[in-house]
Each structure stands twice: as C-alpha cells, then as structure tokens.
Structure 1
Amino acid sequence: MNDSPPVALTSDAAVPKGAHAVVTGAGRGIGTAIAEQLVRDGFAVTLLGRSRGPLDALAEVLGPPASVCVCDVTDSAAVTRAFAALPTVHVLVNNAGQAESAPVSRTTDALWQQMLAVNLTGTFHCTRAVIDGMRAVRWGRVVNIASTAAQRGYPYVAAYAAAKHGVIGFTRSLALEVATAGITVNAVCPGFTDTDMLTRSVDNIVQKTGRTPEQARAQLAALNPQQRFIAPAEVASAVSWLCSAGAASVTGQIVSVSGGEVM
C-alpha cells in the first residue's frame, strides 16, 4: 500500500476563476452536449454558430452562464470581429464541422474547398483569434473535435477525411508551439455519433444502396467494436477532462472516443 501524500498540481494548472469557454458549432449535436457539460463544470460559455435560433434556444435553457455569438468560422474577418468583442477566452472547443460524401472522381472543387473551409480552416481562424490572449494569461485549453476519419479514413469522404487529418496535424504542431505557455492543445476523435450528421449519413446510404434505414444504421454501428453509436455526452466528457486542471500535462494528444474502433 502506498501511503505517500498526493502530488499537488502546479499553481498554473488550476482553472482560472471565472474562466470563459467558446464552443463553435454549439447549436446542435456534439456542440450542444459540450456546451452543457462546460456550464456544469463552472465555465461561462459563449455559444458560437451560424444560426441564431438554435443558439438562443440553448442559451435560454442554460441560463446566464451562456451567451450567444453568431459567426461563420469560414469567414476570417467575421471571426476576427467576433472574438475581438468577447472577453478573454480560456477554453476554445473547435467543434464546427460538416461532412459531405462523394467518390473522389465526383468530388468537385467546391465540395473539396467547403470541407477544408469548415473543418480545417475554421479551426485555424478561431484558434488564431484566441491564442495570444491565452498566452497573455498563461492558461488555455484548445480542444479540436476531429473524427475517426482523421485516424483511419473512410471511403467516399476523402475531402472530409483530408480536412480532419489536417486538424490532427494542426493540433500536434500548435501543442509544441505553446507548450511552455500554460496552454494545452488536443483533439478528440469521435466515432459514429448519434447526431443529425449520422442521420444524414444513414439517409445517404439508403439513397445510394437501397438498404433500409435499419440496415444502414447497423452497417455503421458495426464499425464500433462495442456495436453501438457514441452518445454526444461521451464526447463532452472527454472534452471536460481535457479542460480540467488534472489534464494540465496532456497536450498534443489524439483521444479516440470510438468504442475501440481506433487503437
């Protein structure tokens, strides 16, 4: 039995009092679950997204710890303006994303650029807007929501997978860049998660293969060794931990929330 006293966290590991988090793509799915969890964790949370309606509805449920910011993360100038109007950001969760499928031979330039813009460039825009502020207070958490598509790839989503692979590269590089500044940078990679995005994937399989919705869902769930879909709250729990004082030494990591699909 080890009777040694617990090791104290370093003083700069503690979450700052009144810490402020921004969650992009907060109006639905994983983003909503993350925002809800961070409010429970005691953060003031800015809900950021393109559509005000879902953000306002969520803010009403969450109460005063939550506020709304309408912004398109693909618009560099809009992101700069939006973040300049916010208080210091201690936690940034880059969750805004979009997935569209097509064989490479039918992937248009527009589709390719859209997948990069939303999933990768938007992550860059928002992170660039907050990183100097985190440096100034010498505390920060950047959590990028990627995908198992960034770890293993899937057919017919080459543009999406390429963008999410880029998110992982960005995560690892930035983690090293700010390692001595009290800032951690990590990525969370959910497997197929029970959200609107999953519903669209199922609809796409049904349309293109003639399978029933039940068969399509079973096909996707079978990729998870646990034979199930991930719940948004499970992704939110991983984000919560990465934003905690106890994860101060965890940086540059790619956390797969996928039931063992990626090891």
Structure 2
Amino acid sequence: MTGRGVLLAGATGALGHAIAHDLAGAGYRVAVHAHRRAEAARALANELAGTGHLVVQADLADAGQADAAIGAVARAWGDLDHVVNAAWPTVPAAPVAETDDAAMDAGLRGYRAHAHLCRAAVPSLRRTRGSVVFLGGALSTRLHPGLGQFGAVKAAAATLTHVLALEEGTSGVRANVLSLGRIGVDAADDLAESDPVFAALDRIGDLRRVLPLPTPRDVASAVRWLISDESVAVTGQTITLAGGERV
C-alpha cells in the first residue's frame, strides 16, 4: 500500500474508470476528476477500495479551474504525488480540407487542459519527486485520412509531456506518454461502432495487430507501472500499447 495521491483527469471515462479502480486497489488515494459528470465521479469515488479519495470537478482547459483543482487536492492531502491525464474531448473526424474552427477548438481544448494541468501540478510534483502520465494516441504517428486534427493535438500534448520530462528531470519529476491504439472497450464507448472513419481505421488495424486487443485493465496496469518506483529510470518516453501493431 503506497498511500500516495494521484490526480486522475478524465476518471469517469471507460479507461479512467479502470485506472481508478486499479490504483485504489494498489493503495493509492485517487482524486477522481470530472468536467461535467460530477455525479458519475462521486459514484466512482464511493466504489473505490481504500479511503481518502476525492472528487474534483473542473474544466481543466480553464487555467483558473486547473489551479483550483490542484489547490483542492493540496488542501486535502498536501503535495500531489502523481498526475494521470486520461481526459480528452471528442474531436470530430474530417479531412483537412474540410476542417473548421469548431473541430480545431475541440482538439485545442484537450491540449490546453493538459498544459494547464502540468503547469499547475509541477510545483507539487517537484517536492514529491512525482510523475505525469499522459494517455496519448497512436494516431499521433499512425496517419489516417480524416483524423488529422485528432492526431495533431494528441501529438502536441505528447511533445509537451516529453519537454516537461527534459525540463524537470533535475527536480526528480518524471513524465511519460502511454500511446494507445485500439482498446477493447464496451460498444457504447467504442468510436469504431459509431464513426465510419474510426471503423475504417479499425479494419486496417485488424490486419496489422499481432496480439489480442489491449483492454482497459491492460492500460491501467501500464499506468500503475509508469508511476511506480519500478520505473524510476523511465522518463521522456512514449510507450505504445497497441497489441503489437506498428504505429
């Protein structure tokens, strides 16, 4: 049991839910973050093993709300040990020639949220020699028609994470990206079930994947390893979890 505290952004999604349960089961205190789904966040926090869990509601794309979220955790726990960012807005699929400001703004909100979260958390992480894990996407490097906006902003946030590792390494802060391909989630959470662009991408992936689809539990296990002392020498890295598919 670690007793360390983790702020989990985007905790109410399918991956966040699995990560929260995994970390709590390993003895971490979890600050369950949600933007709009406060009731779902409270329900999740109540389900978690152990004690000391929090619910944090904030629009992390707003700098003031990101600061307030970190402040709320600090008041409850003291300094934060780790940040895991599993939050990302829905970015509409569209060819580059048809991209509009709404699609760009959706993706840029995800980037801003990650940047604000990192900035707000760094002073605390320096004191705890903590870490950041960003759930990136294989579409940052695996190009596919119609998904340029999604891949571009994920790539921007991943680059920011790598630079954070470079800048803060002397303070003992680590920062890594877990780059996800197709994950075996329920149909209700699966974009391939509702978006023909993602469905086409999935058909290509089926031909290139050598292992079964990773599950949310696999993602959670990888996150837990990345924030643990077992990965103390790992920083500034992108680890791809895509069932062996080359991306």
Is TM (by shorter chain) over 0.5? yes
2:8 maps to 23
CA distance in 1, matches of 2:246, 2:176: 17
Q: Which of 66, 69, 72 is matched with 2:59 structurally?
A: 72
Distance in 2 (CA, whole Å) between partners of 1:52 and 1:218 is 32
* Larger Cα-atom Rg: 1
How many positions carry a matched residue from both structures?
A: 239
Aligned to 1:146, the other structure's residue is in SS state strand
Question: Residue type matched to 2:98 in 1?
Answer: R
Q: How does 1:94-105 map to 2 (within 5 A)?
A: 94-98=85-89, 99-105=91-97
- How far did residue 227 of structure 1 move? 6.0
1:90 has 2:81 as partner: yes
Change (3 A) 1:224 1:74: farther
Residue 242 (1) aligns with residue 223 (2): no
- 1:167 deviates by 1.8
Which residue in the other structure is 1:164 paired with?
Answer: 154
Local SS of the residue matching 1:262: coil
Residue segments in structure 1 that go unaligned for 5+ positions in a row = 1-14, 210-214
Corresponding position: 1:185 with 2:175: yes
Percent identity between matched residues is 28
**Residue type matched to 2:60 in 1?**
V
**Paired residue for 2:106?**
114
Amino acid at match of 1:194: G
1:187-202 residue pairs with structure 2 within 5 A?
Answer: 187-195=177-185, 199-202=190-193
RMSD, aligned CA: 2.3
Q: Helix, strand or coil: the match of 2:234? A: coil
Residues 192/143 of structure 1: CA separation in 2 closer, same or farther (3 Å cut): same
**Counterpart amino acid of 1:124?**
A
What is the match of residue 253 of structure 1? 237
The alpha-carbon deviation at position 105 of structure 1 amounts to 1.8
User: For the Cα contact (< 8 Å) 1:48–1:71, is it kept in 2?
Assistant: yes
Instruction: Go from structure 1 to structure 2 and tell me whether the alpha carbon gap of 1:53 and 1:175 turns closer, same or farther (over 3 Å shift).
Output: same
Maintained 8 Å contact 1:116/1:159: no
Deviation at 1:141, TM superposition (A): 1.0
TM-score under structure 1 length normalisation: 0.83
